[in-house]
Amino acid sequence: MIRLPSQWLCRQRSSFKKPNFSTSPILFTLKKNKMDCLTYQDMFEHNKAAFLAAVSAVKPANLIESSVQINGSILTVKGNDFQLKQPCHVIGFGKAVLEMALTMERKLGDYMKQCVISVPVGTKKAHSIPSNTKVEILEGAANNLPDKEAEENTRKILKIVEDLKEDDTLLVLISGGGSALLSLPVHPLTLEEKLQVIKQLANAGADILQLNCVRKSLSAVKGGQLAAAAQPATIISLILSDVIGDPVDFIASGPTAPNKDNPAAAWDIICKFQLQNSIPQSAEVCLRSNYSRANSNLKDKEVNNILIGNNLVAITAAMNKLISLNYSVCFLSPSIQGNVTRIAVFYSQLASRICRFLASSKCNLFEGLEEAYLLSIEARNEIEKTVCNSSHTRGICLIAGGETTVRVTGTGKGGRNQELALRFAEESKKISTGCEYANQFSISLLSAGTDGIDGPTNAAGAFGYAEQLDGNEDYIKYLEDSDTNTFYSKLNAGKNLILTGHTGTNVMDIHIVTICKK
Ligand SMILES: Nc1ncnc2c1ncn2[C@@H]1O[C@H](COP(=O)(O)OP(=O)(O)OP(=O)(O)O)[C@@H](O)[C@H]1O
Ligand SMILES: O=C(O)[C@H](O)CO
């Protein structure tokens, strides 16, 4: 059983800025390798089991159960005590808050006065909901985009918090997807205009920090404004992070966190993506005037933003599952981000170097590796150790978390995980063509979103490997059309898709690179 040291993230980050690794020596000796021979089907099954273990570890019920205790009128959240003067008001928004709310209701009992949550369309149908629950479940934001329903639901939630008094306690349940589910355009912007800006930015490849910085400037509730409206009540937010580094002011666009963005940042992002002439005039006015920011003077000490789970918890569970399946496992990074094609190149180059090393012991694993800055010194040492200790195992798994970005170039159906899997297959095929080790080792990538929904598709992600492309040369067209979901749905009758449906949780994506003997 492994536990990732809690300081891992910090060490990762501090060594992030020192990309001087090109002379990294192999510190460990490769023993004669007697890895098992596996089929792609075996690899897929094992990877999928690890992914499901990861999702299960971040189930909101488990996280709330271990983070929240109530003892008389004292509410304790992750070791912080709060005296309840009267029963709490609970609100929530995000893909994971239904389970959070139902567990909270069980915990609080009579100490919960009311609970209203905004969740994705289809959530009620996908869950069994106790008939006697007090939790009012409002659905909206089909396809993870704000709509009339989400706006209406946000108004209801805002009304609750605006009526709170000093003796009230407000519990705010927050998870990824909250930006679309708690959405109220700032005056005079309309929902359609706001949607247009967000879609344009997302399709241009903006990352979540850029998107949410702009969202805060276009919103009447994000960037601390919801908490400002709830004052003078005591505000306690329980946050499940789906953003790299867990910045509470960006998760769901930080409705209960002070907005610390530079006042010019949102407009700068619009300019960076050269959208200044194509966004609606009213959006430009909001972005330049920074009205939404002036609307909230929230201070850090006026709110209690408490993190209850993140991607690292999920990765740890996946690693433990793979170890129990007798793989030699290595943790690469909790913060993989960047363009999907570049990340595909990075994973396939790294995997092929490991194959070459296993075949001949003669190569420096990291020299000349593109995007090598993604690996900290610790990760490099771990990779070397893992490779050298892989004898008598089923194979090697490198595991990482994060979120890539995609430039959508066509009108097809896809998502960043399915695109990463297909681009990995493409890169691996290019690299392995003509290599003598290619017929000794199989390499694959599972990439899937822990929320179970990758982009606007019904898949969480996919499992990619070079041989998938044999006889399917038209895969290039699918990539050009941003149609990777259609590609994987047709391939092997959809057997390489990861299909879970909405998982009820959301802590970004999991990537598993696997290297096995053929
Ligand atoms: N056809 C497509 N092919 C590839 N990627 C796509 C396609 N359509 C949309 N996307 C990408 O999917 C992203 C949205 O996916 P998704 O709804 O899973 O977001 P998310 O980041 O998981 O949401 P949240 O964090 O709010 O839960 C967009 O940023 C867009 O780049
Ligand atoms: O809702 C959002 O803004 C994203 O999921 C990041 O938290």
pLDDT, tens digit (0-9, with 9 covering 90-100), for 61-113: 999 999 999 999 999 999 999 999 999 999 999 999 999 999 999 999 999 99
Q: Is the separation of the CB atoms in 394 and 38 below 8 Å?
A: yes
**Cα separation, 157 vs 91, whole angstroms:** 7
* pLDDT level of residue 291 (50, 70, 90 thresholds): low
Q: Name the residue at shortest CA distance from atom 23 of ligand 1.
A: 177
Q: Which atom of ligand 2 is nearest to 94's Cα?
A: 1
Measured from the Cβ of residue 493, the count of other Cβ atoms closer than 10 Å reads: 8
Average pLDDT (200-219) is 94
* pLDDT level of residue 39 (50, 70, 90 thresholds): very high
Residue 33 pLDDT exceeds 80: no
Sign of CA dihedral 200, 205, 210, 211: positive
Q: Name the residue at shortest CA distance from atom 12 of ligand 1.
A: 455
Q: Which atom of ligand 2 is nearest to 176's Cα?
A: 5
Q: Which atom of ligand 2 is nearest to 208's Cα?
A: 6
Distance in Å, CA 144 to ligand 2 centroid: 10
- Residue 246 is encoded by which pair of tokens? 């867990």
Phi, psi (deg, nearest 5) at residue 193 = -65, -40
Tokens 């609100």 belong to residue? 91
Strand 234-240, strand 304-309: pairing:
parallel
What pTM did the predictor assign?
A: 0.85
Q: Name the residue at shortest CA distance from atom 5 of ligand 1.
A: 415
Alpha helices in 281-339 (DSSP H): 281-289, 291-294, 311-324
List, by residue range, all CATH 3.40.1480.10 domains of the chain. 326-517
Sign of CA dihedral 111, 117, 119, 124: positive
List, by residue range, all CATH 3.40.50.10180 domains of the chain. 73-310
Q: Is the CB of 454 under 6 A from ligand 1?
A: yes
**Cα separation, 400 vs 331, whole angstroms:** 6
Q: 167-192, pLDDT tens digit by residue?
A: 999 999 999 999 999 999 998 899 99
Burial of 274 (C-beta count, 10 Å sphere; 0-12/13-18/19+): exposed
pLDDT of residue 1: 57
- Residue 420 is encoded by which pair of tokens? 């990463």
pLDDT of residue 482: 97
Counting DSSP H helices and E strands in the chain, the numbers are 19, 15
Average pLDDT (222-249) is 96
| DSSP state letter for 219 | B
* pLDDT level of residue 294 (50, 70, 90 thresholds): low
- Residue 210 is encoded by which pair of tokens? 């850029």
pLDDT of residue 432: 87
Q: Which of 445, 344, 469 is nearest to 396 (CA)?
A: 445
Any residues with CB less than 8 A from the CB of 494 and at least 6 apart, and which?
Answer: 488
Distance in Å, CA 455 to ligand 1 centroid: 4
For residue 232, is the peptide bond before it cis, meaning its omega torsion is within 30 degrees of 0? yes
CATH topology of domain 73-310: Rossmann fold (3.40.50)
* pLDDT level of residue 373 (50, 70, 90 thresholds): confident
* pLDDT level of residue 273 (50, 70, 90 thresholds): very high
pLDDT of residue 297: 77
Average pLDDT (465-475) is 96
Q: Is the CB of 95 under 6 A from ligand 1?
A: yes
The ligand placed nearest to the CA atom of residue 200 is 1
The ligand placed nearest to the CA atom of residue 508 is 1
Tokens 């194509």 belong to residue? 278
Q: Which of 422, 409, 420 is nearest to 480 (CA)?
A: 409
Distance in Å, CA 157 to ligand 2 centroid: 18
Q: 323-344, pLDDT tens digit by residue?
A: 999 999 999 998 999 999 999 9
Q: Is the CB of 197 under 6 A from ligand 2?
A: no
pLDDT of residue 20: 34
Strand partners, 461: 448, 498
Range with lowest mean pLDDT among 347-356, 371-380, 398-407: 371-380
Residue 54 pLDDT exceeds 50: yes
Average pLDDT (332-357) is 94
Tokens 């005296």 belong to residue? 83
* pLDDT level of residue 502 (50, 70, 90 thresholds): confident
Q: DSSP states of 148-171 as a string? A: HHHHHHHHHHHHHHHT--TT-EEE
Strand partners, 119: 139
Residue 290 pLDDT exceeds 80: no
Average pLDDT (423-434) is 93
Strand 88-93, strand 74-77: pairing:
unpaired
pLDDT of residue 3: 53
Q: What does pLDDT average to over the chain?
A: 90
Q: Is the CB of 177 under 6 A from ligand 1?
A: yes
- CATH number 3.40.50.2020 given to 326-517: no
* pLDDT level of residue 24 (50, 70, 90 thresholds): very low
pLDDT of residue 254: 97
Please tell me which of 15-24, 25-34, 260-269 the model is most confident about, judged by mean pLDDT: 260-269
Q: Is the CB of 455 under 6 A from ligand 1?
A: yes
